[in-house]
Amino acid sequence: MAPVANRSSKKRPAPSHAGPATKKPHLAKAKAPPPDKKRSRPITATVRDDSGSESGLDEEGEFGEDGDEEKMIEEDQMNIDPKPEKVQTGQSARESHKIQRELLTQRRAAKPHSDLLTNAKRIWLDARQKNIPTDQRQKHIKELMNVIRGKVKDIVFKHDASRIVQTVVKWGKQKERDEVAEELKGNFKTLAQSKYSKFLVTKLVRLCPNHRPSILLEFQGSVVRLLLHREASSVIADAYELYANAYERSILLRDFYGKEARLFSVTSGSDVDREMAKKGLKGVLEAAVGAESKKRILGEVKEGLVNIYNNSDKGAVTHAIVHHALWEYLREVEELEDEAEREKLRREMFETCQDVLVEMVHTRDGSRVVREFIARGTAKDRKQIMKLIKPHIERMCKDDEAQLVLFTALDVLDDTKLLTKSLISEITSHASTLCTTHQGRRALLYLILPRSRRHFTPAQTALLAETDEVKKGTSKKDDEVRREEVRKGGSEGLIRWIEESGVEVSRDTGGSLVVGDVMLFAEGDKTAATEALLRSLCTPYPSPDPSNPHPIDLPHISRLYKTLLQGGHFDHSTSIISRSLYFSPKEFASAFVKVVGEDVTVAMAKGGGGTFLVAELLERVRAEGSEDEKKLVKAWFGEGVVGEIERGDVKGKKVLLEKIQALR
């Protein structure tokens, strides 16, 4: 055998046919399929990796644009068993490279379907380019399909050929996708367990809806085992959470119900089967004959779940399909007649999964499970759950489903000292970060305005109300007492946050809503917070810098100060201002007069941006101000100022003049 040199570390230029280095202006950009959906990540996970895959591959199992051919060649060489001999002394690097490539070509030619793969790779390099016209791409795809037609099943398990088939599925038309799915029928379970071809299975599930039920049916009998498989787990999770409809999800869930339920279930996709699919485990138990049969089915569900939670390192505990099966199990356990049996089964399941509860809060069913454990748990159970979620509270506050767990804890736990120490203080300490998202703002406002219709939709309120009946038997403290204690626990941190950051936060539209409601409904001394907010108005009006307008010229800030001067929000049901019990608009108006002063107030009245605000200030001074304040403010608006306002053309002029006249 001829001596072979080691591969040089110097990178060779990519082949010229790998596509143009720059985008040519005359080429129309091909329209790619809609971007693949992403499963929600557990709040304990690290920051999302945009590549979204393993082993340096993207979600499609393909390498990046540059150097693809070379990477394929390198991987092919790594898969060759015989090791090349060492380079002979004196042999040049160029000669050794040439010999090595010749040897590699010979070995590759000896492999099955070598000619087919060589032709396919040549066409694939053209078909996969991003910046080519659609008609040209379709020409390459059809040519590629003609090469691999009838041989897809034989080559798809190879790492390089798998990417070729994926390109056909990704860019081809529905005809080509269905052809590939038809050829692979009967092999999807094996493909799902492959490091490379698992991406192809996910693509076919997504892009071939007519074949989706038959693909998922091939997983029946092995779903729990596949969930614990390193490669196949993501295929099952993606199919269930992102692409399947209710009936197709039921196909995957049947494995949790055991062999007996699977044996007698219908798999035709008929109306009867689809109706049964809507009921899930409840429908299976209703169809079961006798108490023993129901007990066996529940036992099968429990066994599958315990198997998954006892192998939490496999990652399946984060998948929505597992959370749904667990929620169905807990829900049916509560339907058992024997109270002791209910408590026993619930306790066993809690002990099985308590260490990974925080891995479940990011899905709807997982969040519901954790909330159920909180609502039904003992004081010790609740303390254990709070200990688990404490390190992740900030991220939970920013997640739609996970934050419901925090809200339930605030609604249920009797130990408000524990709540303040482990939960409330963590929320308020991250107020500046949380205020940047609407989920985070909800978390802040729930401390002082739980289930308020101003901030929580009826659907969210209904979800939170699901545990209300349960907590009646497990929580002893009156709801109103608990809410007041939670309000007090959160008020100090929120008011301090307004003192430090309220001015900056209020310049954001959403932030101004939070600032306003914290000022209105938090309990405590707000003198410093009031002064901090009012000092921001003391700058000259109008602002000399157009790029940095005066705060009062921002509509949402103007509304904020007007609301504080009113002492509450307008109630559309009663058509009056609903005043807060925790805020004094009289004191705020007095502080406004002292801090902002005559010059800025009069300038705002004449400039137009603060007309309605100044009108509300005059009304509050007239109605609740002291005699000294009335005299002082009255002096601000003498005949000269009134004349300027009358000659001006500002919105709200009529209202302002009426308030000035009333003050006199």
Among 52-66, 335-349, 587-601, name the one with the lowest average pLDDT.
52-66
Mean pLDDT of 484-492: 96
Q: What's residue 277's pLDDT?
A: 67
Q: Is the pLDDT of residue 76 over 60?
A: no
- For 359-370, the pLDDT digits (tens) are 999 999 999 999
582 pLDDT higher than 70: yes
Whether 355 has a pLDDT exceeding 70, the answer reads: yes
- Specify the pLDDT at position 22: 43
Q: Provide the sign of the torsion angle of the four alpha carbons 208, 211, 214, 218, taken in this order.
A: negative
**Other residues' Cβ atoms within 10 Å of the Cβ of residue 132:** 20
Give the residue with greater pLDDT, 85 vs 173: 173
Over range 83-89, report the average pLDDT: 47
- The pLDDT value recorded for residue 85 is 47
Residue identified by tokens 């990652």 is 315
Of the given ranges (154-163, 257-266, 314-323, 508-517), which has the lowest mean pLDDT? Answer: 257-266
pLDDT tens, 8-27?
444 444 444 444 444 444 44
CA dist 171 and 42 (Å) reads 32
**pLDDT higher at 480 or 96:** 480
pLDDT of residue 120: 86
Secondary structure, 3-state, 247-287 = HHHHHHHHHHHHHHHHHCCCCCCCHHHHHHHHHCHHHHHHH
Rg (CA), the chain: 34
Q: Which percentage of the chain shows pLDDT scores above 90?
A: 64
pLDDT, position 47: 58
Q: What letter represents residue 417's amino acid?
A: K
Q: What is the mean pLDDT of residues 625-633?
A: 93
Cβ atoms of 367 and 401 closer than 8 Å: yes
Give the Å distances, CA to CA, from 392 to 43, 99, 388, 416.
7, 57, 8, 19
Mean pLDDT, all residues of the chain:
85
More confident residue, 518 or 112: 518
Q: What is the pLDDT of residue 143?
A: 93
Residue 168: the pLDDT is 93
Question: pLDDT of 442-485, one tens digit each?
Answer: 999 999 999 999 999 999 999 999 999 999 889 999 999 999 99
pLDDT confidence band for 616 (50 / 70 / 90): very high
pLDDT grade, residue 270 (50/70/90)? low
Local structure of 11: helix, strand or coil:
coil
DSSP state of 398: T
The pLDDT score that the predictor gives to residue 454 is 92
pLDDT of residue 325: 96
Choose the weakest-confidence range: 12-16, 104-108, 584-588.
12-16
Q: Is the pLDDT of residue 654 over 50?
A: yes
Q: What separation in angstroms does the CA of 365 have from each of 122, 164, 406, 457, 461?
A: 47, 38, 15, 19, 16
| Span 190-242, pLDDT tens digits | 999 998 899 999 999 999 999 999 999 999 889 999 999 999 999 999 999 99
The predicted pLDDT at position 284 comes to: 87
Residue 258: per-residue pLDDT: 87
Across residues 535-559, what is the average pLDDT?
A: 91
Query: Rounded distance, CA 360 to CA 353, Å?
Result: 10
Which helix (H) or strand (E) element contains residue 576? strand 576-579
Q: 114-161 pLDDT, tens per residue? A: 778 888 889 999 998 888 999 999 999 999 999 999 989 888 887 778
| pLDDT over 70 at 106, yes or no | no
Closest of 381, 378, 382, 360 to residue 369, by C-alpha = 360
What's residue 111's pLDDT?
Answer: 62
| % residues pLDDT > 70 (the chain) | 84
pLDDT of 407 above 60: yes
d(CA 309, CA 322): 9
**Does pLDDT of 86 surpass 50?**
no
- Please tell me the predicted confidence (pLDDT) of residue 75: 47
- CA–CA distance, 405 with 377 (Å, rounded to integer): 14
Q: Are the C-beta atoms of 505 and 432 separated by less than 8 Å?
A: yes
Q: Which two tokens stand for residue 207?
A: 């892009």
Which of the four pLDDT bands, split at 50, 70 and 90, describes residue 112? low
**For residue 285, what pLDDT is reported?**
87
Supply the pLDDT for residue 109.
59
Per the model's pLDDT, the better-predicted residue between 63 and 600 turns out to be 600
pLDDT at 196: 87
- Give pLDDT tens digits for 278-324: 788 888 888 877 888 889 999 999 999 999 999 999 999 999 999 99
| pLDDT range class, residue 110, cuts 50, 70, 90 | low
